[in-house]
Structure 1
């Protein structure tokens, strides 16, 4: 009787590194204290990492007087200089403030819903925008949301070509406040929710909740009126406010972002946009 040949040993399991973990590993200094040039440039506030790689490819970056190379690592004392051409390209980048209405997604089109960037055109620019800029289709190239608003939420959405703005608003170390007005119901209670909602629930919204196994940072949460809460957050987890409210028995029936940092939605009409003005900072 023939004996079947032994089975070859199973290949070792390959561990898939989560994207966040891989990004953290790439960003960490090497044992010799060196870091990637693009990270150092981003940390210095010169540009985003993507911009840094583009500038390096174009020959616009020098390290200690020598042309930089893609993937190069630098020490803390290395001198990084950037050509004026890069600064000029950066100066032409725009940041747009859009009042997103219900029914539009923040990023890529999904489930048949259009991305908010499709609202940006010469015709939809707010008539009261006083920024000394003229709209051009090239400004739509690379224009991406810096912070999301889900399809059922409205209010201030920032779209930018500038990696420095994106890093400030949604980078790993971002501390910019985001302010929201949130209309809620408590079970069957739709009017005078404030009177029905227990004080301990409000305390938990401020601090003590966790999402996806991670505790949330402290938040400022106050009653704006009998049916509406005001949230001020410094982080932006996916559908964070709606999920926070669900954890304490509230249902969100309306959500509007009215501020990001020092920039207000103000009187900007739904579906219209304006430029971030010169001198205006988040």
Structure 2
């Protein structure tokens, strides 16, 4: 649940307040505070400081410079790679972020450097048996926007399905009432799902647009209405699309792109 509005006179831990203001992530805030890069009402802030809602927070230019160097990478994840930590012998998708796998069509000005891999983490999961757009970022602001508790960023997927023995022209066999349930009316893990946009892209493929990301959500939603997912590909996050990015290759989020 999103945090409740602070009561008049209430205070908030400084790192949390900085994240709420979109200045950085909590982890970055702690690092900046430890380095003496943060002032509150004119005084260098100690770790653990509680601040009022109207406190004046100033950030040292060194912190801004460090933030500008952070990268966000868009990867076309193949099947067989996990989004985050390696598991059960499967490699994490970040191993594909190498100089030789950078898309030749990438027009971003950055040059690839191994330092860009430090702290590079997925902002949202994409299952091992799914493909498509995966965002990896060093920037806590991007992570918060995409996967924070209060995130409303859309994620769009193309989902190939079958319905019982029907693998061709599934659209004709699938009851419209069940399509309506996919849009709104299903629950997972005892919680009602937020409304989703679900429409037929073609007779064998659905287009899902979600604003939440429960584990294996689309596959589980489909199971609840008798569909089996044959293939799943994420094609958009917010305003950023997979576009022509080849499978297994990556590019930088361009300076003028915003989720």
TM-score by length of 2: 0.97
- Structure with larger Rg: 1
Any gaps of 5 or more consecutive residues in structure 2? Answer: none
- Contact 1:221 1:231 (8 Å CA) reproduced: yes
Task: Give the aligned partner of residue 45 of structure 2.
Answer: 68
Deviations 1:125-156 (A, max 9, x none): 00010000000000000000001000000000
> Aligned residue for 2:201?
224
Describe the superposition over 1:206-243 as per-residue Cα deviations: whole angstroms up to 9, x where unpaired. 00000000000000000000000000000000000000
1: CA distance between counterparts of 2:7 and 2:49? 12
TM-score (norm 1): 0.90
Give the match's secondary structure for 2:100: coil
Asked which structure has the greater RCO (Cα within 8 Å, sep 6+), the reply is 2
Query: What is the Cα deviation at residue 30 of structure 1?
Result: 8.2
User: What's the counterpart of residue 173 of structure 2?
Assistant: 196
Does residue 1:247 correspond to 2:244, yes or no? no
Given candidates 49, 65, 70, the residue that maps to 1:93 is: 70
Q: Please, what is the CA RMSD of the aligned residues? A: 1.4
Aligned residues of 1:28 and 1:35 also touching (Cα < 8 A): no
Matches of 2:15 and 2:7 in 1, distance apart? 14
Alignment-derived partner of residue 83 in structure 2: 106
Aligned partners of 1:31 and 1:223: how far apart in 2?
A: 49
| Residue 218 (structure 2) pairs with residue 266 (structure 1) | no
Match of residue 80 from structure 1? 57
- Between Structure 1 and Structure 2, how many residues are aligned? 259
1:143 aligns with 2:120: yes
Partner of 1:117: 94
Give, in angstroms, the shift of residue 279 of structure 1: 1.1
Q: Is the 8 A contact 1:181 1:258 kept in 2?
A: yes
1:223-268 CA distances to partner (integer Å, 9 max, x unpaired)?
Answer: 0000000000000000000000000000001000000000000000
**Cα distance in 2 for residues equivalent to 1:160 and 1:58:** 22
- Cα distance in structure 2, aligned partners of 1:108 and 1:31: 42
Structure 1 residues not aligned, in runs of 5+: 1-19
* Aligned ranges 1:174-213 → 2 under 5 Å: 174-213=151-190
Distance 1:144 1:28 in 2: 29
Tell me the secondary structure at the aligned position of residue 123 of structure 1.
Answer: helix
